[in-house]
Structure 1
Amino acid sequence: MMAKKYIVGLTGGIASGKTTVANLFAQYGIDLVDADVIAREVVSIGSDGLNAIKQHFGQGILLADNSLDRAALRAKVFNNPEQRLWLNNLLHPMIRHRMLDQVQASTSAYVIMVVPLLFENHLDSLVDTTLVVDIAPELQVSRTMQRDGVSKEQVEHILASQMTREQRLALADNIIDNQGEHEQLRSQVFRLHQQYLQQATDLETNVND
């Protein structure tokens, strides 16, 4: 029987600081399972995911080096719900399967699963507790514009496609406020790390009883 791992689902809107928070947990020796990294792996050169996409959309979906042309794929699915559904039905099970494999391979006391669309894609069903990194929408806009060199309109379009701040906070078990100084962020992470260590221990005790 597979050992039950205590899983924390870490999420937040665009430019909320999910990676920064995840890396602070990693400094305590906690393993990270990153959905974005896995999403890139399942469509890497030679992967089953990329081969299926090529068969479905044609050779034009590839760059000169045979890697995925992400811009071309985005253009194919952007205003086409049917094609987006096809793509999601292909990739989501692959990503989910690989995430769970990585969780099982983890050796840390608990695991942080970093998933930008945790609630939207119903992946919160895989975790024991949810942690939302929260910042104000106007801060999301300014940080994303600065980080990605995109227009305000583009950022607002992305925000509109995601769950609202209020919806996300309503679903959160724990919340980190990432609008202050780095030291405040670090202390919030430390407090939650202690909490998750205890919850992981409690889970192990209950499983073994």
Structure 2
Amino acid sequence: MPDPEKIARLQAALDAYEPGSGFIDHAHEDALAPVRKRALGLLDQRARSREELRSRLVKAEFEPKLVDEVLDDLAASGLLNDAQFASEWVRQRAARRGKSARALDMELRDKGVGGADRAAALEQISEDDEERTARDVAEKAARKVKAAPSDRAEYDKQLRRIVGALARRGFNQSMALRIGREALDERVAGLGECS
């Protein structure tokens, strides 16, 4: 059953309401509108971290105080969430780009994602996943070898190319060398069978 006292208070508030009475600061809303529009446009292109979005908006010469207010509103509505951003970033970049956890952590740090959100997102990548990704990258690089190396110098040159591909994706040196050597040896063996 409705509370008559509460209904009376609401009715009194409605009766007292006059447009422009201060419930909405139209000048402030007008100042926020272009910031909000740009922020939503940037988020429409792709997900972004809070710091990345803030940086883009401030660089576009919007007042930092207004930018922060818009970002707070976007975060409150769930449109801006660093934990979700980091999780999705790791999932996509690990699968599509063959990036190591170390490289992904550095990318997220560069985008202003906090340590706890980065760590939680990187938990998606197991050691087996990391090894499998490194192996895929090494095998792809090894497929560029068209003939078995004629001597040790040529072998080392091909190995450096494969290890370099792994290093550019952030895999540590010992893993890159071990997996690179395995991939090159498998490729050379396969080329020998074709002869």
TM range (shorter): under 0.3
Query: What TM-score comes out, normalization by structure 1 length?
Result: 0.24
Greater RCO structure (CA 8 Å; 6+ sep): 1
Query: What TM-score comes out, normalization by structure 2 length?
Result: 0.25
- Based on CA coordinates, which of the two structures has the bigger radius of gyration? 2
- The structure with the greater share of residues assigned to helix is 2
